[in-house]
Amino acid sequence: MENPAILELLSEKTLHQKIDPQLIAYNPSMELLALGSSDQQVVIYRLNGQRIYGSASKTGNSRVDGFCWKPNGQLFAIAWSDGSVRLLGPETNKTVHQFSTGSNTTGITCMAWVCNRTSRSARSPTSKNPLETLEELLFDGNVLPKSKLALDLPRDLSQIDIERSLPKLSVLAPGSTSEEVFSTRASLNMLFRPFDPSDNDSLDVMVVGTKDGDIHLSIYDSFVIGSFRSPFTFGTLPLYLDRHASHEAYSTHALLMKSSASEGKIYFIPMDLRFISASSDFLSILSSRSTALHNLLRYIRHVQTLMASEWKGTQELPARFLGNINETLTETSNRDIVQALYHSVATGHTFPAVRDWLVDELTERGHKRWDKAVTNGLENIKRLVHENMLPALERCSVILSRFAGIAKFQGSNDSIGFSSHQISLIMDTVACLNLVCSKILIQTVDELDLFASFSTWLRYEIDRLVSDSTSSSTSDEAAEKEGSIDHSKVLNYIQTTMTTKPLAVYFGPISDVESSDWVHEEQGFPMFNLLHEQLQKQERGLPYMKHLPRVDFLCDILTQQATTIFSQIAEAEKRNVLLGQVQELGNIESGGVCDMKMSPKDHSSLHVHIALLPKGHTAKVQLIRITLAIENGISTLQSIDSCAIELGDGRIKDVKFADSYTLLVLWESNELTSLLCIPYKGDLVESITTNNTLRYAPYTPAVPPKCSVFSNEDVLERFSGYPINGAGSFVPETMEVRWQGGQPGDSMSKRLVIFGTDRMQYKVFRLAVPRPSMRETADKDVPMS
């Protein structure tokens, strides 16, 4: 080849633990390398070798089975053998999302996270994109005469970013009752990222394969579509997913399957995600806002839990103090503490039992504890409502208004999974929470004001009863303190708040009988007017539905309504997932040296290339080319072709596709390891001078493809052998390629990571693989010798 691959060493590191060669992932946008160690730890290193993240194994028998990066590199997903998947932010190292692929999962076999363009943005991958951006319109005066810009008012309105103008949600204090992800600003920003209009034409899809033969799909971080059973079994065992490939321009994904009954056999299945190509034009914004709404519901639930906990904290200690004196007063006289304290404030006289309680039991120390418990608890409730709950409800309203607009704009033939009536009901529940939280905020502010006066009077009363001094100066000081007390507020607090607990309307316990007859939300009726009427009855002292104003009850209803909408959206998308016919491809060499790549052929078809080592051959690379025709998002198999090449008497250690044109082969001969660059696509006569040619030919597993044989010297000459053996004990064994990073055509962003045979050393290279000269853009027979 005329243009050899260029390798520039960027970094090298020696680890303390052996790594699992199946657990390697390079961040597509940042210089971060994730590795799984033999002791079930997941670690992430910077390019300079600095460790920025490390997680120990989960409790129990669960192990790490796979991980991958989000296509933009902003999230990192770890899959465990029990079927759980955790998404972490690389900057915060906190779990942002967590979901399960199934309750009876016995292991994860494959995990991929890819980006697809939605139908409105999907164009022929081989054609030039039309001029559509505002910048081009402003800076190119010839745009309008050359192209007609399509106007789409609903789409443009959907891209107006309202959420950026809203105040950021406040962090929650770390503790046992709050999720860790809500406790820092960085993790909260990661969780509640505003929708980027530039992402309106794309969709991130996560595909997870399980050992049980299930294929689990989720979109936009954590919006679960569902699981699909393998359509084919080998004997009694289902096929499981081993490799995955896709291209952003196609909604069809390529699945390479295996069977536990016959590990050597491989099978190909196309998977058509028609919800990308045929569903709503607002799929991207719908999925992203569904995820945002789900996160808001998590946030609201934890705020509600904190509010209830804080209110409980304001009641426990005062209840113990007041319970003791009430018991004493009941035994000695026909009165309670409310009457006794009211008497003391109004007359200045204190009953003996109350005197003993204030001086001997409550004392100055007990008063301080009482004051701190109530004041801090009420202040925290006020802060949680004002800074956390109400802003979160406001964001819910904005997201739901987007949903309502989408539901009203869609035609009767478009199935998006929910109706405008369902959205109006959930918006009604949000309005109910807004009303209740506003009432709580008003009551909390009033109670704080009244309690401050009561606490001042209580401290004054204790000091007055304890003091034995009768000097005039002390009397003057006491008179001055008493004069600063607003006795009307003290009396108001004793009468209306001290034992009646006004906030118990929203947080207090209720019996099962009081909540068992509630079926209003099940009938699909709005609740706001009913709630308003019940609160008015409560304020007038009339019987009312005690469960209706409770914050936890309304949060339950909100969660139930949102979950119903999420499940209906997922079900609508799930109906548009089609698994194609299974195609057997043959047997591969033990060790699983194999890679798969999808690339465009023309505007209506694509190629899937599979590179593998045939069973029993350690120096032979077989290339299988599968051609699929795409029409309306549904794939049809056109042909399966194959070719093979034998690379001297060496041993092939690993194969990886570098890009849409070049296959990288890690090849060892005479104790020297070289990196080979083998063109596998297009007319490459200009790249490889040939005496005889190896061409793709129709393929069936029963008939091996014709193989071209090269000597060791020809291999190094024709395929640009680049020696990569390092000094010392480093012997290359496996490799990982980051080919999708950076901008299109940016060869400087490609990375090649090579691991040694000891699995404790690795080297990172900048990889520059020049594109071979092409006579035609379409795939033809590939000359290779």
Q: Three-state DSSP class for 670?
A: coil
Question: Residue 612: pLDDT band by 50, 70, 90 thresholds?
Answer: very high
Question: What is the predicted pLDDT for the residue at 131?
Answer: 40
Q: For residue range 635-686, list pLDDT tens digits in order.
A: 999 999 999 999 998 899 999 998 888 899 999 988 888 999 898 875 443 3
CB 646 within 8 A of CB 663: no
Place of tokens 């904190």: 306
Please name the residues in contact with 327: beta carbons below 8 A apart, sequence gap of 6 or more. Answer: none
Per-domain boundaries in the chain: 6-127+151-159+200-278+577-768, 283-574
User: H or E stretch including 605?
Assistant: strand 605-612
Torsions phi, psi for 185 (to 5 deg): -65, -40
CB 768 within 8 A of CB 747: yes
Comparing 187-201, 203-217, 513-527, 559-573, the range with the smallest average pLDDT is: 513-527
DSSP state of 359: I
Question: Residue 16: pLDDT band by 50, 70, 90 thresholds?
Answer: confident
Dig out the tokens for 312 from the structure.
């409980």
Question: What is the predicted pLDDT for the residue at 755?
Answer: 93
Dig out the tokens for 578 from the structure.
């089609």
| Helix segments in 335-419, DSSP class H | 337-347, 352-356, 363-383, 390-409
Comparing 182-196, 305-319, 733-747, the range with the smallest average pLDDT is: 733-747
Please name the residues in contact with 316: beta carbons below 8 A apart, sequence gap of 6 or more. Answer: 373
Question: What is the predicted pLDDT for the residue at 135?
Answer: 47
Place of tokens 């990073």: 741
Dig out the tokens for 62 from the structure.
């669960």
Which residues are paired to 631 by β-bridges? Answer: 634
391, pLDDT greater than 90? yes
The half-sphere exposure of 187 on its side-chain side, counting CA atoms within 13 A, is 19
Dig out the tokens for 748 from the structure.
């400087």
Question: What is the predicted pLDDT for the residue at 527?
Answer: 92
What does the pLDDT average to over 677-702?
Answer: 67
Could you give the C-alpha distances from 465 to 351, 458, 485, in angstroms and in order?
A: 11, 11, 17
499, pLDDT greater than 50? yes
Task: Please tell me which residue, 481 or 449, carries the higher pLDDT value.
Answer: 449
What does the pLDDT average to over 628-640?
Answer: 93
The maximal CA–CA distance of the chain, rounded, in angstroms, is 120
Question: What is the predicted pLDDT for the residue at 453?
Answer: 94
Torsions phi, psi for 617 (to 5 deg): -130, 115
| Helix segments in 196-349, DSSP class H | 274-277, 283-332, 337-347
Dig out the tokens for 338 from the structure.
């409310």
Distance, in Å, from the CA atom of 738 to the CA atom of 31, rounded to the nearest integer, reads 10
Task: Please tell me which residue, 472 or 286, carries the higher pLDDT value.
Answer: 286
The half-sphere exposure of 384 on its side-chain side, counting CA atoms within 13 A, is 26
DSSP state of 362: I
Distance, in Å, from the CA atom of 442 to the CA atom of 438, rounded to the nearest integer, reads 6
Could you give the C-alpha distances from 699 to 585, 640, 643, 704, 785, in angstroms and in order?
A: 9, 6, 8, 8, 20
User: Which sign, positive or negative, has the C-alpha torsion 524, 528, 530, 531?
Assistant: positive
Question: What is the predicted pLDDT for the residue at 741?
Answer: 53
Question: What is the predicted pLDDT for the residue at 232?
Answer: 82
Comparing 36-50, 398-412, 473-487, 614-628, the range with the smallest average pLDDT is: 473-487
User: H or E stretch including 732?
Assistant: strand 732-738
Distance, in Å, from the CA atom of 204 to the CA atom of 215, rounded to the nearest integer, reads 16
263, pLDDT greater than 90? no
100, pLDDT greater than 50? yes
728, pLDDT greater than 90? no
Question: What is the predicted pLDDT for the residue at 192?
Answer: 84
780, pLDDT greater than 90? no
Distance, in Å, from the CA atom of 507 to the CA atom of 518, rounded to the nearest integer, reads 18
CB 439 within 8 A of CB 551: no
DSSP state of 614: B
What does the pLDDT average to over 528-541?
Answer: 93
In the chain, % of residues over pLDDT 70: 82
pTM of the model: 0.84
CB 444 within 8 A of CB 311: no
Question: What is the predicted pLDDT for the residue at 196?
Answer: 67
39, pLDDT greater than 80? yes
Q: For residue range 129-150, list pLDDT tens digits in order.
A: 444 444 454 555 555 554 455 6
What does the pLDDT average to over 496-524?
Answer: 74
186, pLDDT greater than 60? yes
Distance, in Å, from the CA atom of 525 to the CA atom of 428, rounded to the nearest integer, reads 9
Comparing 47-51, 82-86, 323-327, 684-688, the range with the smallest average pLDDT is: 684-688
Question: What is the predicted pLDDT for the residue at 529?
Answer: 94
Q: 591-616: buried (b, 16+ CB within 10 Å) or exposed (e) per residue?
A: ebbbbbbbbbbbeebbbbbbbbbbee
Question: Residue 454: pLDDT band by 50, 70, 90 thresholds?
Answer: very high
Q: How many CB atoms lie under 10 A from the CB of residue 22?
A: 12
Give the β-pairing of 19-26 and 32-37.
Answer: antiparallel
Question: What is the predicted pLDDT for the residue at 367?
Answer: 94
Q: For residue range 208-257, list pLDDT tens digits in order.
A: 999 989 999 999 888 899 999 987 877 778 899 999 999 999 999 999 99
Q: For residue range 307-317, list pLDDT tens digits in order.
A: 999 999 999 99
Measured N-to-C along each axis, helices 472-483 and 420-466 cross at an angle, to the nearest 10 degrees, of 160
Task: Please tell me which residue, 55 or 239, carries the higher pLDDT value.
Answer: 239
345, pLDDT greater than 70? yes
Distance, in Å, from the CA atom of 655 to the CA atom of 609, rounded to the nearest integer, reads 12
Q: What CATH code would you report for 6-127+151-159+200-278+577-768?
A: 2.130.10.10
> Which residue in 226, 218, 388, 228 sits closest to 288, CA to CA?
218
Distance, in Å, from the CA atom of 685 to the CA atom of 733, rounded to the nearest integer, reads 31
Question: What is the predicted pLDDT for the residue at 768?
Answer: 78
Label residue 67 exposed, middle or buried (CB < 10 Å: 0-12, 13-18, 19+). buried
Measured N-to-C along each axis, helices 337-347 and 283-332 cross at an angle, to the nearest 10 degrees, of 80
